[in-house]
Amino acid sequence: MIDSVSSFAKKTNRISSNHIAHKKLEELILNHFCQSYQNLNKRINTLLNSPEEMEHSLKLEATRTYRKESQLSPSQSRCSSNATSSCTSCQSTDPFDELTQQANQHIQASIEYAQSLKILDTKENRIAYYKIAQALNQYGSRAYAGVRYNATGEMIFYDYLLYFLQAFTVIDNKTLAMNPTEDHQRYLKAVDELTETIIIALDDGELIASSMLMIRLADTFLFATPYIMRSFGQEAAAPLMDFAQSLLILSHDMASLVETPGQVLQ
């Protein structure tokens, strides 16, 4: 009889201990995602409430657009001239511009190659990551800042996927095995890094790059949702869907604002 009571008590303590650990993990993850969204939302609100900063950022984007168009080839230029000869006024005379365009193209090509791989596969994920890293290392110093931010954000997103899947391993349709907390810390760190990259891009007036990176941040919330739902319940996952939707709307509105500066973001 004493042994039975002792055994029951040990079992109860073990269940209670597991429940507490599970709850702490839930709070760690959800609070981290929430804090990331709030930090970015705060920075965006600062931008929207500062007409001077917004005007400065829009002017920078207009300058970048003009610079890109001025570097198009004669067949791509928007020159209205009917002359059959090349219009030298539509082309850049700075030899470094061509090197910059080549650097941009190499980095963009590495991103497109990476996106063609199965990034949920561990091996191909790392191939994608290092393909972009190699291009950044070789051409990053000459590329546009926006191109570098996009490439950096893409790499961080691949890290996020890799470590997230290592932390949440599917056993069957109902149960998920939780790996040590270090695995969770690694993908949560990636969320922080992606958020910080967007904020830095906003600081530099890179509205288009920021807009694209917001989509990637939304992807992190969307990707996590089914795992969080399975592990902690539907109610716990609901905020992630709200955050993702908000980010996608902000991304669209910010890109639209650059195209039509007269608009006002809601």
pLDDT for 83 = 43
**Domain-embedded: residue 266:** no
51 lies in some domain:
no
Q: What is the pLDDT along the chain (266 residues), one digit of tens a residue?
A: 545 555 545 555 555 566 677 788 888 899 999 999 999 999 999 988 888 988 888 888 888 765 554 444 444 444 444 444 445 444 544 555 888 899 999 999 999 999 999 999 999 999 999 999 999 999 999 999 999 999 999 999 999 999 999 888 754 444 555 556 788 889 999 999 999 999 999 999 999 999 999 999 999 999 999 999 988 899 999 999 999 999 999 999 888 888 776 555 54
Look at residue 13 and tell me if it is in a domain: no
The residue whose two tokens read 């900063």 is 53
234-259 and 51-70 helices cross at what angle (nearest 10)? Answer: 60
Domain interval for residue 101 = 31-44+56-70+94-259
Alpha-carbon distances of 246 from 157, 217, 262, rounded to whole Å:
19, 11, 22
In a domain, 265, yes or no: no
In the structure encoding, which two tokens stand for residue 156, read together? 């961080």
Task: Say how many Å lie between the first and final Cα of the chain, rounded.
Answer: 69
Answer yes or no: is 136 within a domain. yes
**Structural domain count, the chain:** 1
Residue 130 lies in a domain: yes
Closest CA to 131 of 155, 153, 101, 149: 155
Give the per-residue pLDDT at 2: 46
Q: What is the pLDDT of residue 18?
A: 65
Structure tokens at 36: 């990331």
